[in-house]
Structure 1
């Protein structure tokens, strides 16, 4: 799918709809149990199915500002993107470390799984350090991405009390 076609297919519909599956990953810093639980609750309240990566809460044994060693963070990202049921890969934290994953990614294999079941491109979301992934996904996969607040931050407080 060319970049123009992918962007048109993406922009012509809602990026996510109830029933879609999102995969949470931490390509940079580790999440916290409380912020992960809050993020899962928000997304599930929106009718989305949430799958949490195996290493989202795992700090690196020496560099605790990272969510585990590079190979495990990369594994979570690649598995999430390659999941045929995934409609979006949601990064729950920024910080530092995403760019350390880029050289070890098999971009050709990732390109083969860049479409959702309905043919629209999968979505990558996040901000901060995730900018490195946004650019790499543009260059290597030619898919649109969404620079947005991190799911692990408390950016949706109005939903705690219900709609206003």
Structure 2
């Protein structure tokens, strides 16, 4: 396991760069999100290509999206980088990232969904701790769209801190395990397998390290969850996983249909019948319609479901520099 590169804490009055590495956001939603962030005391800077329309569904062409991301990392006046929305497009940027410039300018990078590819590659290539976190148009534009407690703990340096049943966490299999928390959006994470940008947590000829795997998605049917998990297992990716935490599944089932949720949980447990570690589900991070929880990726955590009625995911170290 490489030495982690931790960004600086997010201080009151920090300046946030607003970028769109993937798809075009709705301008009115971006403005609503900016107003919410500024009401929290942050300064914001909307980057030149963040609202671009096209080509296709992208927020500008690859060069424009890359230019904004690079400029935000390089600018010493920017304290953190937050994405407007996900969609599709971040993976196009991976071969063109200026990794040495980013290494020299570590700062919090925040987003989820499609940005899983950036989280994964920045951790793999630099050891950079990033944040699976609320986005401007997707969450801060919503009333009560972000979870204040986890945002504060993750970005200001609380050590340790926990997520519990009040954050949606439920037990699927009891146990206790510790590891480096990795993961993100199931489809994006899994589709990196077999590419140079896949998470580097298992290699037969290299020392391996234990992980806690976090997975969530939207609009993914039970058989697709089954297929993606089987792919991860066949790729050797579960060999180092000590525990698995699934996100909130409400965006993957018919609204108000508990039978669908029960069926999906049965699919997950059947797929993971040979997996020995603890399993939890329901964590409200990523694609949610509730206050979105901020999860640091890359640092050590412990999942404890030994008391099935009181599951707890505890971060064992700070995600930012002391």
TM-score w.r.t. structure 1 length? 0.80
Quote how far apart the aligned CAs of 1:106 are.
1.5
* Among candidates 135, 143, 161, match of residue 150 of structure 1: 135
Quote how far apart the aligned CAs of 1:135 are.
0.9
What does 1:67-106 align with in structure 2 at a 5 Å threshold?
A: 67-106=59-98
1:54 aligns with 2:48: yes
Q: Of Structure 1 and Structure 2, which has the larger fraction of its residues in helix? A: 1
Quote how far apart the aligned CAs of 1:34 are.
0.6
Residue by residue, what CA displacement relative to the aligned partner does 1:19-73 show, whole Å, maximum 9, x if unpaired?
A: 1111000000011111110111011111111011101110113x1x110100000
What does 1:12-161 align with in structure 2 at a 5 Å threshold?
A: 15-61=9-55, 63=56, 65-114=57-106, 122-155=107-140, 156-158=142-144
Are 1:35 and 1:154, in contact at CA under 8 Å, matched by a contact in 2? no
Quote how far apart the aligned CAs of 1:101 are.
0.5
| Rg (Cα) greater in structure | 2
Distance 1:48 1:75 in 2: 23
Are 1:29 and 1:95, in contact at CA under 8 Å, matched by a contact in 2? yes
Indicate the SS of the match to 1:158. coil
Unaligned residue ranges in structure 1 (runs of 5+)? 115-121, 160-164
The number of residues matched between the two structures is 143
Distance 1:147 1:72 in 2: 23
Indicate the SS of the match to 1:108. helix
Structure with the bigger RCO (C-alpha within 8 Å, sep 6+) is: 1
Q: Of Structure 1 and Structure 2, which has the larger fraction of its residues in strand? A: 2
Quote how far apart the aligned CAs of 1:154 are.
4.1
Unaligned residue ranges in structure 2 (runs of 5+)? 146-322
Divergent runs of 4+, >6 A: none
